[in-house]
Structure 1
């Protein structure tokens, strides 16, 4: 049977979990992710995860978990690019950004966030990912692999009470990943609103 985008994304999640648990290393994760994202059939997807344990979840636990933990926001740059913000939007506990060819812009400056921590998985790929966080928010970049494109952190370490921590993970790829506070032009736009 032919695989859908959701089927591929489920396998990608399973591979990331396996890497987080130490079952596969980051080089193997990269090669398996490439195979999963280009898989056309369920059989090809099954080969990528054949040596990994099945995720354990009961139907009741899964539905309760889904209610408590909304699905991650996934942005794929593709050819034209993708962005979220700077308008109002509700921040989930996890955001996944794939720069692709067009790049991804993720702007939290006017976002509504009730969480103490948000995980942002950024994969720079070809054109990179830019993450803009408000003043007073801080970032933990310890989980990032800078790759060829690098990681640029232009944030401060002064965290205001009640603001979330952005835990940045992923890989810079060729395009790199930038995390910063708003620039002068963006601040003027925010002030005018």
Structure 2
């Protein structure tokens, strides 16, 4: 048996399995899976031992990309007073953010994103840019020039199968780029809403 960590299969956690189960149930509710297919895939998801077993169960259910506005990016400018996108807003595959003096906040915690990758190009300016993503989403800040404010990924845990990757490029400027998961109060509020 190989002892090379790079070749060792990563064991699936309950959270990994539940993320896929949720997507399968949503697909069935939308009519993209019949009940027989749902039962079969749910059984495979719940019995998966490794993370690698999970993506094939949902690959044909997640569109490569959903084009919003004929391919035009969503442009958000912070200006003097700042701007925010939160709640159930429609997320395109490309977002251009100019922080300005007031800054910009992008909150993805209540969005129904189906793209695999969301490209966010930032010019954080003096106000900075804050990006809030659900736990389990992927974040890539490798192509951000930190500038004076820096670029900070404060998210926890690894990316779960089937979840989006937020790929950030551009400059942190003076205000910086800060990516995090929802805070404790926001998580409580989301939990209460789900329990309804």
TM-score by length of 2: 0.61
Question: Residues 103-161 of structure 1, C-alpha deviation per residue, up to 9 Å, x if partnerless?
Answer: 10000001111111110112210110000000110101111000001111101351111
Larger Rg: 2
1:71 maps to: 72
* CA-based RMSD: 1.6
1:164 maps to: 164
Q: Is the 8 A contact 1:88 1:110 kept in 2?
A: yes
Q: 1:70 to 1:112 in 2, by over 3 A?
A: farther
Moved over 4 A (4+): 66-69
Query: Which consecutive unaligned segments of at least 5 residues does structure 2 have?
Result: 1-66
1:82 maps to: 83
Question: Residues 29-71 of structure 1, C-alpha deviation per residue, up to 9 Å, x if partnerless?
Answer: xxxxxxxxxxxxxxxxxxxxxxxxxxxxxxxxxxxxx779532
Following TM superposition, by how much is the alpha carbon of 1:192 offset from its aligned partner in structure 2, in angstroms?
2.2
Query: Which consecutive unaligned segments of at least 5 residues does structure 1 have?
Result: 1-65
Count residues in correspondence: 127
Q: 1:81 to 1:68 in 2, by over 3 A?
A: closer
Moved more, 112-121 or 157-166: 157-166
TM-score by length of 1: 0.62
1:136 maps to: 136
Following TM superposition, by how much is the alpha carbon of 1:189 offset from its aligned partner in structure 2, in angstroms?
1.9
